[in-house]
Chains A and B, each alone.
Chain A
Amino acid sequence: MELMRLVVTGPVGSGKSTFIQSVSEIDVVNTDERASDETKEQKETTTVAMDFGKLRFSPEFAMHLYGTPGQQRFDFMWDLLIRKAHAYILLVAANQPKQFRYARRILNFMNQRVTLPMLIGITHTDCDEAWETQDIAIALGFSAQKHPPLKIVNPLDHTSVAETLLTLAQQLYEPANHQT
């Protein structure tokens, strides 16, 4: 059986834990603790070690999903998880432009360690003041023409998350289409 280890990363509040919860077939292993930093302005709890979920697409193909914490102080978890990954997803909330620079930092952190198929998942596109996908690509340091696959995803929606995962899985098996 083919097993794909996928890391889901991104800034605080981009939807990483929700993303994994939406598709996992097992009770997600989460490490949520009450937030006491600026995170609490957005939400009550935050991931402090990792999330873990599983998804089986077919008898021959399964995914293990690992969600990272968002805050930089947990970057040892970013390091730990990315080194064993086959691919990763960077989630970016379209309505939180202040975090674009931070998302870029995560991207650099990962790219310094690994060269993997990846995808940028744009979340919160239904919120007020959400940026256009192309503008986010530029804010993340890419040109409008050349950037990794960008996909709008609703972390709350099982189908939307599953589609995103499939897009990434296809990339893994058709590396010719993979742009960095």
Chain B
Amino acid sequence: MSINVEKLNQILQEFASTTNEVQGAALVTPDGLPLATTLPARMDEERVSAMSASILSLGERIGKELARGQVERIFVEGEDGYGILTSCTEDALFLVLASHQAKQGVLMLEIKRIVEELRSVLA
């Protein structure tokens, strides 16, 4: 069965445009290739995808090594905003970029919702 890329793109675009303070989102393979992305213009999707895979993989490894159990998310908090990485399915991970104004609770709930939606398309 082929992946409905159009649908994935549509979900991401909707998510980025309707969720307050979300600046971009990407769905990528665990080995760092883009599946669907909606990113700020200056960002290269190849690079974003590869970086996402690196961080999540290393983060999960750290979680294991330091006995933190299954890693729920990797949270990068910078001066200019957040980057949040979650595993979506065995074949996909999900990155969200949000500004500092974003309410973290709302963001987490929105991510949870969107990940479910993406899973149903990938299933």
Residue positions of A touching B, CB distance < 8 A:
29-37, 39, 46, 48-50, 69, 71, 73-74, 76-77
Contacts and interface: CB of A to CB of B under 8 A. Distances in A.
A73 B61 contact: no
Interface string B75-100: 00000000000000001000000000
Given A29-B65, A74-B50, A34 B57 contact: no
A70 to B, nearest CB: 11
Majority SS at the chain B contact face? helix
A36 B31 contact: yes
Contacts of A48: 30-32, 50, 53-54, 57
Given A48-B54, A49-B58, A76-B50, A33 B30 contact: yes
Top 3 A-B residue pairs of the complex, sorted by shortest distance between their CB atoms = A49-B54, A33-B30, A31-B57
Given A48-B30, A73-B47, A33 B58 contact: no
B51 interface: yes
Contacts of B91: 34, 36
Nearest to A33: B30
Contacts, number: 57
Given A29-B65, A73-B50, A76-B47, A49 B55 contact: yes
B49 interface: yes
Given A37-B33, A48-B54, A30 B61 contact: yes
Given A73-B32, A73-B49, A76-B54, 17 more contacts: A29-B61, A31-B54, A31-B58, A33-B30, A34-B91, A35-B31, A36-B29, A36-B33, A37-B33, A48-B30, A48-B31, A48-B32, A48-B54, A49-B53, A49-B54, A73-B47, A74-B54
Nearest to A36: B29
B116 interface: no
Interface string B35-78: 00000000000110111011101100100010000000000000
Contacts of B46: 73
A54 to B, nearest CB: 14
A137 B75 CA distance: 45
B47 A33 contact: no
Given A49-B54, A74-B50, A74-B54, A34 B61 contact: no
Contacts of A32: 57
Nearest to A34: B30
Contacts of A74: 32, 50, 54
Nearest to A39: B31
Contacts of A69: 54
